[in-house]
Chain A
């Protein structure tokens, strides 16, 4: 456990000192919230019976968590693998599980931070109420999502051939998914056929789970077990792929 904390401490240092990590993972989601809330104003989305801003807070939270897990992990792990860093660490007595725990712990802490930042920003600037009745649902959704999307980050790393390809491959997968899943555009504007495609993937289900927690019309716990099951299923698939294909040695 001490070793996990040791590793986590250095992962945190590296994260906060890397301008690209801080910009893309921490600042960009906040900027997105500003942009979308400004462009689409405070209209009502009739289909969901909420203000646009109330829709965007859980949407951007989903994006921020995915960005802190899948996207960050895939890009940084690929870079570290191609640098020879993973191979080098593998040759030390540090158990691989501790290395992984450090990275996932880092992703989880950044995810928690982002949920708090986006929620507070939504509350202060756009008057989106905090999910006080549904905090357990938020925590469960966050835990399931961070686990699943971290596993997918490791799986994705295994599919990326080179350092240069990492941001391109990751974004080529995630950006279209954000669009079709209603993270960038409210899903009331997206054709049903497109939403059916999005329903195959975990992003939309992850958003739905967070949305239920933020939706003022939600009665009860706000826990969306069906959506979470699909997210978790993708996580397990990611885990299996990662266990099978993840490599510590450079591909070149």
Chain B
């Protein structure tokens, strides 16, 4: 087995009395896209900044590309690229100039034009960065991270605040990292992002990892088997439904949603009830729990 690109054991970080990260263990393998999920304030950015070498930890062991990031050297920085959560780029430079400036910092940079194409900004090559949309600025930021041709890429909430089409474009760019053979460590609070992009994901809540694994299977052990949902038939209230649906969560005006541990039995009860009462079950749906369901369940515990 190759050496992991990132490994952390018992990683801790406190700010005074506040323990932001409370003993994290994780490993990221070469070529993997790893999603680090969690609600705001869970310790995502603190963890990623420790990996990036920005922050000193208060406990535990960390190796990134075989080096303790607290002792980051220029050679190490040649191999690591990153997009920070918040960074406004120099407004006076054009897209091409901004990428060329960063290319100059690395010993073996990628071609500037090729890097621009990679993030889909060819048409904006000579536009000032200040004229770019939020999504385009973020993609330029990714280009700055890629131009040094790093082995490992950190992306801290790369699509926060994006409209849906900008997110899709950003996902295409991040997904293409796989073809380039890069290892990607991605933090996000969007479940769908992890599900679309990641090979593996870990969920951090209040400084601790509460679940880890294949995003498609996350939470399948011990979690709900399926989610049964339908619209509440007209004229009925939630309390009139059979158990366990009478206790189900109601989303919006009329959508009943039940995370079921035994979907076959629950469905039988529901269908028998509907047939006896001669009511329809509009928009009936049985689906595997999404990462979102798992996430909500884990973060609300």
Contacts and interface: CB of A to CB of B under 8 A. Distances in A.
A85 B87 contact: yes
Given A87-B54, A91-B82, A93-B148, A10 B101 contact: yes
Closest 10 A-B residue pairs measured CB to CB? A84-B87, A17-B92, A83-B88, A93-B77, A6-B104, A14-B92, A94-B105, A93-B74, A92-B105, A10-B101
A84 B105 contact: no
A14 B93 contact: yes
B216 to A, nearest CB: 33
B22 to A, nearest CB: 23
A87 B78 contact: no
A13 interface: yes
A13 B93 contact: yes
What is the interface of chain B mostly: helix, strand, loop, or mixed? Answer: loop
Interface of A: 3, 6-7, 10, 13-14, 17-18, 80, 83-85, 87-88, 90-95, 249-250
29 contacts: A3-B104, A6-B101, A10-B97, A14-B92, A17-B92, A17-B93, A18-B92, A80-B90, A83-B87, A83-B88, A83-B89, A84-B86, A84-B87, A84-B88, A85-B88, A85-B89, A88-B84, A88-B144, A91-B53, A91-B82, A92-B102, A92-B148, A93-B77, A93-B78, A93-B105, A93-B106, A93-B148, A95-B74, A250-B86
B48 to A, nearest CB: 12
Given A10-B93, A91-B52, A91-B84, 8 more contacts: A10-B101, A14-B93, A17-B93, A83-B88, A84-B87, A85-B88, A91-B77, A93-B106
A91 B53 CA distance: 8
Contacts of B80: 91
A87 B87 contact: yes
B78 A13 contact: no
A92 B52 CA distance: 11
A224 to B, nearest CB: 38
Contacts of A3: 104-105
Nearest to A80: B90
Contacts of B86: 84, 250
Contacts of B144: 88
A88 B101 contact: no
Contacts of A83: 87-89
Interface centre among A13, A18, A90 (most CB of B within 10 A): A13
A90 B88 CA distance: 15
Nearest to B100: A10
B97 A13 contact: yes
B88 A13 contact: no
Q: Chain B: interface residue count, which band?
A: 20 to 34
A93 B79 CA distance: 9
Interface in B96-120: 97, 101-102, 104-107
Interface centre among B52, B84, B106 (most CB of A within 10 A): B84
B64 to A, nearest CB: 12
A249 B54 contact: yes
Interface centre among A92, A95, A249 (most CB of B within 10 A): A92
Contacts of B102: 92
Given A3-B104, A84-B84, A91-B53, A14 B90 contact: yes
Contacts of B148: 92-93
Interface in B141-192: 144, 148
Contacts of A13: 92-93, 97
Interface centre among B101, B102, B148 (most CB of A within 10 A): B101
A87 B93 contact: no
Nearest to A17: B92
A71 B84 CA distance: 28
Contacts of A87: 54, 84, 87
B135 to A, nearest CB: 18
Contacts of B88: 83-85
Nearest to B83: A88
B90 A85 contact: yes
Interface string B60-92: 000000000000001101101010101111101
A249 B49 CA distance: 12
A3 B93 CA distance: 18
A135 B77 CA distance: 45
Contacts of B84: 84, 87-88, 91
A197 B219 CA distance: 71
B168 to A, nearest CB: 25
A249 B105 CA distance: 20
B127 to A, nearest CB: 13
A169 B126 CA distance: 35
Nearest to A6: B104
Nearest to A87: B84
